[in-house]
Amino acid sequence: MIKKLTLCFTTTVLLACCQTRPKENFDLLIVNASIVDVKSGEVSVGKLIGITNDTIRMVDNMDHENKFESTIKLDAENNYVMPGLWDMHVHFRGGDTLIDENKNLLPLFLAYGVTTVRDAGGDMTASVMGWQEQIKQRTLLGPNIYTSGPKLDGANPAWEGSLKVETHDDIKKAIDSLDLLGVDYVKMYDGSLTKEAFYGIIQEAEKRSLKTTGHMPLSADILKAARLGLDGSEHMYYVLKSCSPAQDSLTRLNIGFGMIETILGTYDPILARQVFLELGAQGFYVTPTNAVVKVLSDVSERDHSKDSLLAYIGEGIIKTYQNRVEGAKKARALGRRNLYQDILSLSTQYIPEMNRAGINILTGSDSGAFNSYCYPGESLIKELILLVESGLTPQQALKASIINGPHFFGLDDFYGSIAAGKVADIIVLRKNPLDDIENTKTLAKLIKGGKVYDIKEIHAILKSLNDQN
Ligand SMILES: [Zn+2]
């Protein structure tokens, strides 16, 4: 019996040696890749990545290369391969006449490695949802889009296209309509939203498991809102309000945005730490949007007329840039304090502290019409650089984009790393971004929807789109 078994085993081994196993086939093989793992902060060299359709199917070592074959091969020798970037605060807006100009800018995100954007509300929801679908179907070149649809604001909304919400009935109707549209989250705006409506929206959205973020009426309290289920806050004003010992007396004065100067001037690091720890414990998200703050901090003095990316921006959108320039000029003439500069100089305190406290920092640029000279894609690279200037490490800044972005939408299983089963939204950089965040500017290639793009190719597409404008 033992003899028979041995014989049988020998035969099997011999057979296995003689048969050549068929090679596993992929649409695309990336060879010689140095994979940047943002979670661990490590780089693994000599890697193979197999991609079919838009999914990573295999990651292995180069010494197994002979086991695989592919239709296309991309040699990433001396390059760094990592997931695409997420811009969690952009806008598509400006009215029906600017729909095409907004659409033509979609490839610009890809030209800077931004493969996913979160639209934070505008006035062209039907178009945005159309693009969202076309990009999924690969009939349109652009980043994946998640959208809030229209913003929710009060009786006199600050932006076109917003839904007016005052009563409890309005809240139900508004959220019903967002539900029907199939939006990805709810965005609130403080043009004229009351604190009661603000809290009511959060509670109603919570019942339907819809995430909420946005601006907050300055009469409201962010800790109370977070306890009710608010998931995140856009920009820094609303979180910083709770970091001022003067917040209660300022709230009683009911002066709305008039309180911001005092809030920034009375930032209390000890109070801030308590606030951040509570928000951090709840898994709260904050999108500082310092990229737009930086542009607006000197928009009336700086000459942007030579900005190279203006070549891709349509005339209609460029016109909208004047609003904020004129506003800044007026504020300057009146001798008003430059609150944008105050926010930026405070950021070295609040950003590292929020991160230490466990708040999920998100990278959002606020690019879009009306937000002067804050260009799609490029502004997200600026946001990453500003996060590092504020005290985060390059790894922490990249985590805010690549890991926290998908985490907001519960998509951790599909994004955040180069691994089998994840979506193949991939960027190839010439230099390691963990060494220096400026290296995010060394983008050579991008993989999106199963296709490899040379960055020069995307610029050529942008140029031809703008020539049609
Ligand atoms: Zn915005």
Residue 432 in this model has a pLDDT that exceeds 70: yes
> What confidence tier does 7 reach under pLDDT thresholds 50, 70, 90?
very low
> What confidence tier does 160 reach under pLDDT thresholds 50, 70, 90?
very high
pLDDT at 20: 73
pLDDT at 2: 47
Return mean pLDDT, the chain.
Answer: 94
pLDDT at 467: 81
Residue scoring higher pLDDT (395 or 466): 395
Residue scoring higher pLDDT (1 or 404): 404
Task: Give tens-digit pLDDT for 261-283.
Answer: 999 999 999 999 999 999 999 99
Mean pLDDT computed over 148-167: 95
Residue 171 in this model has a pLDDT that exceeds 50: yes
| Among 213, 254, 260, residue whose Cα is nearest residue 233 | 213
Q: Are 120 and 364 in contact (CB under 8 A)?
A: yes
Mean pLDDT computed over 409-417: 98
Residue 455 in this model has a pLDDT that exceeds 50: yes
| Ligand 1 center from residue 4 Cα (angstroms) | 75
Q: Class for domain 85-415, per CATH? A: alpha beta
pLDDT at 450: 84
**CB neighbour list of residue 72: distance below 8 Å, 6 or more residues apart:** 27, 28, 29, 452
> What confidence tier does 468 reach under pLDDT thresholds 50, 70, 90?
confident
> What confidence tier does 14 reach under pLDDT thresholds 50, 70, 90?
very low
Phi (first) and psi of residue 122, to 5 degrees: -165, -155
pLDDT at 206: 97
Return the percentage of the chain with pLDDT > 70, whole number: 96
- Tell me the chain's radius of gyration from C-alpha atoms: 25
| Ligand 1 center from residue 235 Cα (angstroms) | 8
Global pTM?
0.95
Residue 330 in this model has a pLDDT that exceeds 80: yes
| Ligand 1 center from residue 299 Cα (angstroms) | 17
CA–CA dist 312, 321 (Å, integer): 14
| Ligand 1 center from residue 292 Cα (angstroms) | 9
Residue 186 in this model has a pLDDT that exceeds 90: yes
| Ligand 1 center from residue 215 Cα (angstroms) | 9
| Ligand 1 center from residue 2 Cα (angstroms) | 76
Mean pLDDT computed over 404-419: 98
| Ligand 1 center from residue 279 Cα (angstroms) | 22
Task: Give tens-digit pLDDT for 336-378.
Answer: 999 999 999 999 999 999 999 999 999 999 999 999 999 999 9
| Ligand 1 center from residue 365 Cα (angstroms) | 8
Task: Give tens-digit pLDDT for 19-71.
Answer: 678 999 999 999 999 999 999 999 999 999 999 999 999 999 999 999 999 99
Residue 9 in this model has a pLDDT that exceeds 80: no
| Ligand 1 center from residue 377 Cα (angstroms) | 15
| Among 441, 424, 423, residue whose Cα is nearest residue 432 | 441
| Ligand 1 center from residue 123 Cα (angstroms) | 13
| Ligand 1 center from residue 89 Cα (angstroms) | 6
| Ligand 1 center from residue 380 Cα (angstroms) | 13
Mean pLDDT computed over 148-158: 96
| Ligand 1 center from residue 339 Cα (angstroms) | 17
| Ligand 1 center from residue 406 Cα (angstroms) | 19
pLDDT at 466: 82
pLDDT at 142: 98
| Ligand 1 center from residue 100 Cα (angstroms) | 20
pLDDT at 19: 60
Task: Give tens-digit pLDDT for 96-136.
Answer: 999 999 999 999 999 999 999 999 999 999 999 999 999 99
Q: Are 295 and 340 in contact (CB under 8 A)?
A: no
Residue with tokens 């490695």: 113
| Ligand 1 center from residue 124 Cα (angstroms) | 15
| Ligand 1 center from residue 393 Cα (angstroms) | 25
Ion ligand 1 residue ranges (Cβ < 5 Å): 120, 366
> What confidence tier does 469 reach under pLDDT thresholds 50, 70, 90?
low
